[in-house]
Amino acid sequence: MTKPKVVLGVSGGIAAYKACELLRRLTESGHDVRVVPTDSALHFVGAATWSALSGHPVSTEVWESVHEVPHVRIGQGADLVVVAPATADMLAKAAHGLADDLLTNTLLTARCPVVFAPAMHTEMWEHPATQENVATLRRRGAVVIEPAVGRLTGVDTGKGRLPDPGEIFEVCRRILARGTATPDLAGRHVVVSAGGTREPLDPVRYLGNRSSGKQGYALAKAAAARGARVTLVEANTGIADPAGVDVVHVGTAVQLREAVLKAAADADAVVMAAAVADFRPAVYATGKIKKKDDGGAPTVELVRNPDVLAELSADRALPGQVVVGFAAETDDVLANGREKLRRKGCDLLVVNEVGERKTFGSEENEAVVLAADGAETPVPYGPKEALAETVWDLVLPRLRSGT
Ligand code: CTP
C-alpha cells in the first residue's frame, strides 16, 4: 500500500522548530512527507534538518528541478497539505491566491484538504485583515486551527501560540481518515458545551456533578477536524484546550448560559453536552459557613437555574439552527428520552444510561440518538469519539443549506 502523501508547509515564524516534531509524528505514523518551507522559515530551521527528517530534498523556489515541475506536482499529488506554522503573511498570500514561491504554488495546485496552523502575536491574529483572510480560507474549505493561548516569543502572553504538534497531528490524522477533499463542516460555526457546572454555596463549597467533559471535548475535536469553527463552552473539566477550538471557560449554570447564548448568535449548530445544574443555592454566603454549637446542620434553599437547552430550542438565534441535547437517564431510558426531546424542543437528543460505572469519566459511551422527526439511531458501546462522529453525521443533513 502506498503511504499517504503529506506536504508540510513551514512559514517563517519562531514556532518553525515545533514543526520538526509534527514531521516526526507524521513520518513515524506511515506518511510520506514532503517539507516545503518558505525562505524565511529557513532562518529558523535549516534545509538540512527538514531534508534529513523527511528523507526528501527540500527547496523553497519554483526554479529548482524545473524539469520535474515541482511547483505543480507537489500540490497535485498530495493527500493533505498542512502549513505549520502559518504566519499572518502566509494566510494573506493563501487567501489572495499569490504564488511567489514553492509553498504558495503548492497551495494553489492542491485539490486535497488543506490545514493551516497559525502562529503569530495576538495583535496580528486579531487584526481584521488576518481575521478576514482566515474567514476567506475557511469559506473555501480550508481548516484553520485556532491558535493556542499562552506564552508567545517574548515575555508577552496571549492567543497566537502554535498548538501542540501532537494536537495538529491529531487534526491531520482525522482528516486523512475521513478521506474527503473538503471537510464536511467547513464554513460552519458550531458551539459545544462540556463539563459540569458548579454552583457555589460559599467561598469553599459548591454543588456539582460528575460530568467529566470528555464527550463534549470529543464532539469539539471531531467538529474541528471536519472543518468547523468551534466554540467550546467548558465548565470545570480541567482538560487542556484542544487545538483548533475556541474555548470559553465558565463555572456556573448562569455563566454557561450567557456564554452559550452569545456564541450561538451566529452558530449553525449548538450541542449541549454539558451537565448543567438544575438548581443553585438561593443565597451565596460570602464567608465560609460555620458549624453551630447546637450540633445542627444548615438548611440550604435552592432555586431553579435557567434551562439553556429549552431556551436555545424555543428561541433559535438563526432560522434553521440545529440544537442537540444530551439526556443522562438512570431508569426508563428511552421513554424518558422521548419525553425529554418533546419537552426541550431540540432537534436531536443523545440519550445515554448513567450509573455508578457507566459514562461518567469513562472513555466509552453507548447511546441512542433520538430525532424530532422520529428517527432513532442506536450507537453501540464504543469510544466517545465514535459517538461524536455519529452526532455530527446526524447534524449535517439538518443544517440549513448555504453558509
Ligand atoms: N440542560 C440545560 N440547562 C439546564 C439543565 C439541563 O441546558 N438547566 C441541558 C443539558 O445540557 C442536556 C439536557 O439539558 O443537554 C438534558 O439534561 P438533563 O439533566 O438530562 O435534563 P433535565 O431537564 O435536568 O431533566 P430531569 O433532571 O428532569 O431528568
Q: Please give the average pLDDT of every successive group of 10 residues along the chain, which has 403 residues.
A: 93 95 97 96 96 92 69 89 98 97 95 94 94 90 86 78 91 84 84 98 95 95 89 96 88 98 98 97 94 87 98 95 94 92 97 70 84 94 90 95 60
Q: Which long-range contacts (CB under 8 A, 24 or more apart) does 76-79 make?
A: 76/109, 76/110, 76/111, 77/5, 78/5, 78/6, 78/7, 78/34, 78/106, 78/110, 78/112, 79/4, 79/5, 79/6, 79/112, 79/176
C-alpha cell of residue 244: 483548533
Kindly state the DSSP code that residue 176 receives in the 8-state scheme. Answer: H
188 CB-side CA count, 13 A: 30
What is the tens place of the pLDDT at every residue in 351-381?
988 765 555 667 778 899 999 999 999 999 8
Query: What does the pLDDT read at residue 359?
Result: 55
351 lines ligand 1 (CB under 6 A): no
In sequence order, what are the residues at sequence separation of 6 or more whose Cβ sits closer than 8 angstroms to the Cβ of residue 40?
A: 11, 12, 87
Angle at 393 between CA 210 and CA 2, to 5 degrees: 110
393 lines ligand 1 (CB under 6 A): no
Report the CATH number of the 189-398 domain. Answer: 3.40.50.10300
The ranges of the chain annotated as CATH 3.40.50.1950 are 5-178
Query: What does the pLDDT read at residue 219?
Result: 96
305 counts as catalytic: no
Query: What does the pLDDT read at residue 30?
Result: 96
Distance 383 CA to ligand 1 centre (A): 23
Domain 5-178 listed as CATH 3.40.50.1950? yes
- Ligand 1 atom closest to residue 309's alpha carbon, by position in its atom list: 7
Residue corresponding to grid cell 474567514: 135
Query: What does the pLDDT read at residue 124?
Result: 95
327 lines ligand 1 (CB under 6 A): yes
274 lines ligand 1 (CB under 6 A): yes
- Ligand 1 atom closest to residue 329's alpha carbon, by position in its atom list: 20
Query: What does the pLDDT read at residue 403?
Result: 46
Query: What does the pLDDT read at residue 69?
Result: 65
Contact 318, 394 (CB under 8 A): no
Nearest-CA residue for atom 6 of ligand 1: 276
The ranges of the chain annotated as CATH 3.40.50.10300 are 189-398
Query: What does the pLDDT read at residue 356?
Result: 59
Question: Which is catalytic among the residues 105, 209, 305, 352?
Answer: 209
**Angle of the 88-96 helix axis to the 128-139 helix axis, nearest 10:** 50
